[in-house]
Amino acid sequence: MFGAITIMAMAAAGAAAAPANDGAERWRVSEPLAAYVENSSGEVLALDCIRASCRYLLALKGDCQEGTLFGTIVNSQAGETPATLKCHTNSKGNVLIVGDADVGRLMSGDHIAFAYPQTESLIAVARFSLAGASEAIATVVANAKQRDAAAATP
Amino acid sequence: MFRTIALMIMAVSAASAAIAEPDQTFGQWRASADATSVLAYTQNESGAQFGFGCSDGRCFYYLYTRAGCVVDRQYDLLLSSQTAGDAPQIHSAFPRAVCGAGEGDDADLRALYFDGQNMPALIAASVVAIAIPAEDSQFRVSKFSLEGASAAVTWARARYGQTPASGDAPQ
C-alpha cells in the first residue's frame, strides 16, 4: 500500500519530468526537488527536498499510524547505522520519514537495505538499488540549493 | 572475559554431554554454570545460539553464529519479538554488538556480544528474530525460541549472584 500510494503521489507531483519506466531498478528524478527508486516489491525510497531541508522517505508494505516511531537498521556497502522511521499520513497515504541518521553517507555501493520490526515475520528487510542514485541525488540537491539561493536574494 | 564465555559456549556447543545434562532446562532454553561463569542459552535449527552469560563481574547477551562478522568490529543489531495473546505487541532493541572470535576448530563461528538494555521485555515473548548487517548490504536474520528464556536468564542471574537491578551492561 505504501509503495503504490507514494508512487502515485510522486507521479502526480512530477510525472512529466520522470523518464520512462524501463523496468530497471534505478533512481529517477521525478521532479526538480525529488528523486526516488522503487524495488521489485513495490517499496520506494525517495529523497525529498521540497521542504526547507532534504529528507529521505520510505514507502513500505503495511500500514502505520500518524506519528508512530519505528526503529530501523540501515545497511549498505558504505556501512550501517540505526535510524528512526516516523509515520506520516496525509490525504495521499502514508510514508515513513527517515530520521536521526546520516543516511546520505550510506548512499554508495550497489544497494542499500533497511531492516525493521514487523508483525508477520518479526523482521522485514527492504532493499533498494543505488544505480543512478548519486546523479539523481546530486541533481535534486543542486536544485534545492538554487531554490534556496533564489529565495535568499532580495 | 569474552574468551571465558566463548570457551564456555564452545563447551556447550561441542560437548553433547554438557548439553545432555545441563544444570537446568527451561522450555527451549538451558542453563549451565561453572565456578566463575554462568550461561543461559537456546539453539536454533541452524545450530546458532542465542544466550545470556556472566563472567568476570559482567553480564551480556550473545549470538553465536556462522552468519559472519569481522572480529573486533562493532555492529548495530536489530532484535524483534512479539508477545502472544489478543493484543500482540512488538518489542525491539537495537544493541551495538562486538564481534568476537569463536573458539575451537570451526574458524567460521563468531560470537556477537551485546548489553541487555530493553532485553527483559523483549525476551518475555515466544520468538525473537535477530538481524545482523552483512558486508554486502544484506542482513542475516536468525530466529530463536524464547520459551523459557526469562526463567533461564533469571536462574543464571541468581546463580551468578546478580539481581536484575544491577543491570546487564558490560563495564
Per-residue pLDDT tens digits for A7-57: 434 433 433 334 444 457 899 998 889 999 999 999 999 999 988 789 999
Lowest mean pLDDT across A32-41, B40-49, B78-87, B146-155: B78-87
Alpha carbon distance, N-terminus to C-terminus of chain B: 11
B139/A115 touch (CB, cutoff 8 Å), yes or no? yes
Residues from chain B contacting residue A109 (CB–CB below 8 Å)? 137
Question: 3-state class of B158 per DSSP?
Answer: helix
Average pLDDT, chain B: 83
From B122, B104, B105, select the one nearest B50 (Cα to Cα).
B122
Q: What is the DSSP secondary-structure string of A30-64?
A: EETTEEEEE-TTS-EEEEE-SSSS-EEEEE-SS--
* pLDDT per position as a tens digit, B63-100: 998 877 889 999 999 999 988 777 788 899 999 999 98
**Size of the A and B interface in Cβ pairs below 8 Å:** 71
Q: Do A45 and A97 form a contact (C-beta atoms < 8 A)? A: no
How far is the C-alpha of A19 from the C-alpha of A10, rounded, in Å? 13
Which residues contact residue A147 at a Cβ distance below 8 angstroms, ignoring those fewer than 6 apart? A33
Average pLDDT, chain A: 84
pLDDT at A87: 95
Flag whether pLDDT at A6 surpasses 50.
no
Structure letter (DSSP) for residue B36: S
Q: The C-alpha cell of B160 is what?
A: 551468578
Whether ipTM > 0.85 holds is no
How far is the C-alpha of A56 from the C-alpha of A45, rounded, in Å? 7
| Chain A interface test: which of B74, B77, B78, B118 (most A C-beta within 10 Å) | B78
Residues from chain B contacting residue A117 (CB–CB below 8 Å)? 78, 80, 90, 92
Residues in chain B: 171
How far is the C-alpha of B122 from the C-alpha of B95, rounded, in Å? 12
Residues from chain A contacting residue B44 (CB–CB below 8 Å)? none
A123/B88 touch (CB, cutoff 8 Å), yes or no? no
Residues from chain B contacting residue A65 (CB–CB below 8 Å)? none
pLDDT at B117: 76
